Amino acid sequence: MARIVVIGGTGYAGKNIVAEAVARGHQVVSVARTLPAERQDGVLYAEGNILDPQGIVAVAEGADVVVFATSPRGDMAGATRAAIANVIDALPAEVRVGVVGGAGGSLVAEGGPRLVDSGFPEEFKAEALEMIAVLDDLQQTGSAHDWFFIHPAGGFGPWNDGPRTGTYRDGGDVLVVDADGESNISGADFGVAVLDEIENPRHRGERFTVGY
């Protein structure tokens, strides 16, 4: 059993990671800027903001894994990259770090190009590029932490949710698509993929994509 801290644990990706972690018997801390009105049994809810690295470190005390399920939207646009880097730097070196990115950084085929450079919706480009920059930081700075970065499928979100099947495919660097060229994964199965990586690491210091 691991102690898993999910920053952004009340968002779409975060709450699915939290739910899967609790179902597997882990100790789970869900961190968000405000406490949710509805809470899941077995989860410790805490207030925290990634703009306050020491506050996050205090909430994450004793953690084995810290997962960032935050998005550079609203007042966090342009601030998320530095905030995540600062929190990671402040965490004890033995803590494993996971980052939930977007689909935009996935490659559309082996060797490129990236999805964000291939007809990606203009209104989401800034968000995608900031999370790509977070990945670049992890890859280029030689982080002292064991880390993984996970890209969901293109059709990932509350508008396209589905049941937990317990299955998914790992595409490495490439966006996962089905036989019809569609790229989807439910929130619950995304949580399965994250917990599989936490429990049985296959991507140490790597990014990977998941989908059906």
Say what the pTM is.
0.96
Q: Which two tokens stand for residue 44?
A: 């410790």
Among 28-37, 140-149, 201-210, the range scoring the smallest mean pLDDT is: 140-149
pLDDT at 60 exceeding the cut of 90: yes
pLDDT at residue 144, as a whole number: 84
User: pLDDT tens digits for 2-25?
Assistant: 999 999 999 999 999 999 999 999
Residue 143's pLDDT band, with cuts at 50, 70 and 90, is low
Helices and strands (H, E) in the chain, number of each type: 5, 8
Say if CB 194 and CB 20 are below 8 A apart.
Answer: yes
Instruction: Kindly state the helix (H) or strand (E) to which residue 20 belongs, with its residue range.
Output: helix 12-23
- Mean pLDDT across the chain: 96
pLDDT at 62 exceeding the cut of 80: yes
Question: Domain of 116?
Answer: 3-211
Q: Which two tokens stand for residue 117?
A: 């450079």
Structural domain count, the chain = 1
User: pLDDT tens digits for 88-99?
Assistant: 999 999 999 999
Pairing of strands 206-211, 169-172: antiparallel
Say if CB 9 and CB 32 are below 8 A apart.
Answer: yes
119 vs 125: CA distance, rounded Å: 10
Domain containing residue 176: CATH number: 3.40.50.720
Per DSSP, the three-state class of 151 is strand
83 vs 109: CA distance, rounded Å: 31
Per DSSP, the three-state class of 134 is helix
